[in-house]
Structure 1
Amino acid sequence: MFVRHLGLVSILACVSLSLSACGGGGNPPEAVLSVSVSELALAARQPAALPSAIPGTPRVLTVTNTSTHVTAQNVALDPAVVLPADTTVVGDCGTLAPLESCSFTVTPGAAATTAPVALPIRGSNTNTVTPTVQVLTYGSLHQGGYVFALDDTTPDTGSVGGKVMARREEAAYPAWSTNADAMAGVDELSVAPCVGASDGACNTATVVKHYEALRDSPLAYAAGRCSAFIDEGYDDWYLPSVCEMGVDDNGSASGCGSRAAPRQQNIFLNLVKKGYADAMVPSVYWTSTASSTAPAGQAPAWVQQYSIGGDSNQLRFDRVGSSIPVRCVRAFRP
């Protein structure tokens, strides 16, 4: 009776495991792979980018065998994957023991992808994980708009950061504000609460907070229009600052620098001048930066003018009496 009891236990154990685990036939158990990120965005190498070069930082995908008892065999990238000629992927995991990881390093070149590229990774006894890779440059379409700024200093285990400009103008042409209230902290000289010349997201939030307290509709003024803007599935748009829009070609003392030495990456140099935003020329757009100086009886804000001759004129317009277009932007992060 004792022997029969042990035999029954052994049979039940085999039922709960695969036949191969009990020495029988059938397929071996499958190892399960996971990947660290499902989407990886990289910056194309741009040594001439201003105000500083973009190196094209290599970025890492980590693949893990999440199985606790099964070894993954022959884990590798699908050799049929086609990337831009100067972008490389290095890594060949081979055998992965249970809970072991390996990495694939993606190194971008100077050429961008036109769309995300799938990178299928699988083993001979595993599932397939398919992260996507996109190499971005100025003018690339990404997360709702045209890329005009890239942050390649983010950790190499994730994607780059940056900023995009919406593909379309906001429908209405609003005034900058509903009244001539003093608006501290958002002009070209301010450093608190916003660095007014360069931080459009902070400017927008500050202006919106001011007019929310007055119960003004966000649709009645420029920054509010962008804060309420929903496009391509994103709702975190803002009105760009004067230096996010361009450079000081006309000596207006905006603080945005010159074409040769811009204060920051901007729409004029990286989209308009490169031909990605022809529809914006000629035109004038509100920025979220107020003016620190004003003639008597006026309350101006900065505007950006794009001219047919290729100039970047930054001017001051009356913020209550002028109704002009807005083009919203948003930041993307890893």
Structure 2
Amino acid sequence: MNIINKNLVLMSLILTFQATTIYAKTGDLFKIYAHGGTLGQTISFELCLDISGSTPLSCQNYTTEQSELTIYSTIPNNNYSYAGTKINTPGFVYKAGPTANGYSLLGQISDTQGATGTFIAETAFLTISPSTLGLSVTGVETTTGFDSGTPRVFTLKNIGSTPATGVNCPSITSPSITSITCSGCGTILSGNVCTVTIQPSATASAAVADTNPTPITLTIQGENTNKLTPSINVLTYGSFYQSGYVFSIIETQDPSLSIGGTVAAERDASMDSSIVVNIMEVPYSPAWLYTFININNGYDGSNTKTGNTYWMVRQYSYDQNYSAGLCIPPFNSVGGYTDWYLPAICQMGYGATDSFDCGGDMPGTIPNIQYYLLYSPRQSGQNINISQF
């Protein structure tokens, strides 16, 4: 058995301040973290290490779709007091420091010290954070023990210099959404925000075993603003999300964040096999799981310092000739995600082995594929494909 696990993307687990590295590749003079709301369009800008003279020096062009940037240099052991930026996209300015000759002074930067600034639109302009929300259905168990179906929130911000008027509260008819409520919308003054709260129902928008679910799309726009189209995914066990089947749901307490969790890959990572089997045809017994993996940690297969994959890779090197190495980048990045790993035995199923007690009865000591993908969907008569070789 060679199922791969990955964590669902949850911003607070990637970077604590909810930032995404957008540029830090070889040859770049700058390392940029983009955060804040999503603009809904691409902004082009130029960064220079020195704008003190008549001609800016050491300049490069970048793009972003986020409203705030934190900018570092990539050059070690150097401080740049006159680094600056110029916005190439009409209708926007960058608020950081003083401006001269079309450039805004960033403030001192180095490879360890960043400078943060914000894009400001010349007219009313809405950003949204996040641009996509993942919610759980009501009435299911969660890994954290918190009730599933927590209402979650989009936050709109007017980064323009004039009020945004007539901003609509979105409405949509969907069996997966019980209600949508708005606070502070209508007219949003410059720099102010409004919130859009989504209450999910017991019906998933990503139905069990549907490998191509369609997210729910909302439309938000003011009389004098840009249009935003945030998306919503309402998930349950067996939903296909971020290139895998959900078998763990982490109900995060912060309603401005999506849920977290874990998924099992749809297909086998083996180079020699592309067999996909119907798990409903697998004998309903934990016995077939127990020959899979039984090493240091029965509960954590992750590619972190607490997980089996991490230590296996360091023992056998980055190579695709064995299971753990084949499950991680660069040999595996299914769906563009880079946090796949080989699951531990208790992530595979419940029961007892000679070395580990994964829980003698359902559902097991930790969320596992056997119970949440084999047993729970079986009760609803759904079929899910997972991989096997």
Which bin holds the TM-score, normalised by the shorter protein?
Answer: 0.5 to 0.7
d(CA) in 1 for partners of 2:134, 2:180: 14
Q: 1:231 to 1:247 in 2, by over 3 A?
A: same
CA deviation map 1:280-325 (0-9, x unaligned): 59x7xxxxxxxxxxxxxxxxxxxxxxxxxxxxxxxxxxxxxxxxx4
d(CA) in 1 for partners of 2:383, 2:335: 18
d(CA) in 1 for partners of 2:235, 2:355: 32
The answer for the alignment partner of 2:164 in structure 1 is 72
Q: 1:34 to 1:53 in 2, by over 3 A?
A: closer
CA contact (8 A) 2:176 2:200 kept: no
The answer for the alignment partner of 1:258 in structure 2 is 360
Q: Which runs of 5+ in 2 are unaligned?
A: 1-121, 207-213, 274-292
**Aligned Cα root-mean-square deviation (Å):** 2.7
CA contact (8 A) 1:148 1:165 kept: yes
TM-score under structure 2 length normalisation: 0.54
Identity percentage of aligned residues? 33
- Measure how far apart 1:255 and its partner are: 1.5
Matches within 5 A, 1:208-223: 208-212=313-317, 218-223=319-324
- Measure how far apart 1:108 and its partner are: 1.5
Letter in 1 for 2:269: E
CA deviation map 1:77-126 (0-9, x unaligned): 333x2332553211151111111111111122211113311111111121
d(CA) in 1 for partners of 2:242, 2:129: 20
Question: What is the count of residue pairs matched by the alignment?
Answer: 231
CA deviation map 1:234-287 (0-9, x unaligned): 232110011111100x66562111343521111111111214665559x7xxxx
CA contact (8 A) 1:33 1:63 kept: yes
The answer for the alignment partner of 2:215 in structure 1 is 116
Q: 1:134 aligns with which of 207, 221, 233?
A: 233
Q: Which runs of 5+ in 1 are unaligned?
A: 1-28, 175-185, 191-195, 284-324, 326-334
- Measure how far apart 1:155 and its partner are: 2.0
Q: Check if 1:238 corresponds to 2:322.
A: no
- Measure how far apart 1:53 and its partner are: 6.2
Q: 1:268 aligns with which of 358, 370, 386?
A: 370
CA contact (8 A) 1:121 1:129 kept: yes
Q: 1:53 to 1:59 in 2, by over 3 A?
A: closer
CA deviation map 1:143-191 (0-9, x unaligned): 11111111112521111111111111123479xxxxxxxxxxx966x5x
CA contact (8 A) 2:176 2:234 kept: no
d(CA) in 2 for partners of 1:97, 1:63: 11
d(CA) in 1 for partners of 2:248, 2:140: 14
Q: Check if 1:45 corresponds to 2:120.
A: no
CA contact (8 A) 2:176 2:202 kept: no
Give the strand-richer structure, 1 or 2: 2
Q: Check if 1:224 corresponds to 2:317.
A: no
The answer for the alignment partner of 1:309 in structure 2 is none
Deviates more, 1:135-144 or 1:250-259: 250-259
d(CA) in 2 for partners of 1:50, 1:101: 32
CA contact (8 A) 1:78 1:120 kept: yes
d(CA) in 2 for partners of 1:121, 1:252: 57
